[in-house]
């Protein structure tokens, strides 16, 4: 039995990595979300133990003994333990959420992302104050710098989601939602629309190219 659990565990851990895995973060916002996921998993495991361990003990044959009162089972474990765990998880999730809010930061790069059926258009800053570099299907980011992504849509509601960099945010027609992105290191990441938006939803994807400082300067035309 124990040997059979080894390959199952390896397969389970392998599923924690990948282009669209929230458990393989490549930025601080995604790392906070991954940490929250593990904490939520631990809390769920604790609550399951509170339910299934007493259930298993109830099926054991044992000499008659004085049973515990309903105060212990209903108030102590049912309400007290469950309420304490859920309250702790809620407080933790609240503070994790605060860390993902786009607060003022130096050298913030501002980029817009506009969704339609079934495409993404990204507008990046150029060398001059009025210069805009428009790219379809590929979002370009500088590594290690905060980026405020202004997300909107032209037709129906979509959702921007690059799992290894940050959580998802809705793209709503006529409204701009701001998502703070920070990528730790250069690389290529995948993203997709996370809100069903029509028959072409499955192909509503994009790529994220994270540049080194020199590569970002070349992309934006700021290199002398």
Higher local confidence (pLDDT), 60 or 4 = 60
Of residues 5 and 137, the one with the higher pLDDT is: 137
List, in sequence order, every beta strand (DSSP E) within 105-176: 109-116, 119-125, 132-136, 138-142, 147-153, 158-161, 169-171
CATH fold of 109-220 reads Immunoglobulin-like (2.60.40)
Which residues have a Cβ under 8 Å from the Cβ of 100 and sit 6 or more positions away? 29, 32, 33, 166, 167, 180
Overall pTM surpassing 0.85 (yes/no): no
Query: Cα angle at 108 between 105 and 112, to 5 degrees?
Result: 135
Beta pairing class for 205-211 and 138-142: parallel
Residue 67 has pLDDT above 70, yes or no: no
The whole-number average pLDDT for the span 2-27 is 62
179-189 tens-digit pLDDT: 999 999 999 99
Instruction: Give me the pLDDT at residue 2, please.
Output: 44
Report domain extents, the chain.
2-99, 109-220
Residue 11: its pLDDT value, please?
Answer: 46
Residue 86 clears pLDDT 60, i.e. is over it: yes
Closest CA to 220 of 142, 126, 128: 126
């Amino acid at each position: 039995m124990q040997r059979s659990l080894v390959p199952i565990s390896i397969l389970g851990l392998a599923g924690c990595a990948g282009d669209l895995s929230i458990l393989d973060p490549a930025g601080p916002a995604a790392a906070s979300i991954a940490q929250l996921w593990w904490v939520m998993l631990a809390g769920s495991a604790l609550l399951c133990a509170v339910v299934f361990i007493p259930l298993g003990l109830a099926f054991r044959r044992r000499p008659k003994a004085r049973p515990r009162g309903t105060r212990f089972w209903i108030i102590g474990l049912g309400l007290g333990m469950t309420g304490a765990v859920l309250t702790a998880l809620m407080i933790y999730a609240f503070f994790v959420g605060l860390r993902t809010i786009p607060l003022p930061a130096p050298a913030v790069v501002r980029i817009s992302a506009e969704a339609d059926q079934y495409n993404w258009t990204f507008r990046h800053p150029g060398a001059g104050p009025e210069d805009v570099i428009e790219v379809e299907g590929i979002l370009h980011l500088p590594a290690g710098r905060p980026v405020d992504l202004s997300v909107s849509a032209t037709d129906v509601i979509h959702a921007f989601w690059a799992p290894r960099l940050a959580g998802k945010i809705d793209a709503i027609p006529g409204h701009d939602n701001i998502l703070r992105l920070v990528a730790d290191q250069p690389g290529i990441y995948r993203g997709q629309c996370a809100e069903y938006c029509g028959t072409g939803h499955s192909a509503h994807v994009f790529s994220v190219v994270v540049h080194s400082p020199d590569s970002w300067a070349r992309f934006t035309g700021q290199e002398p």
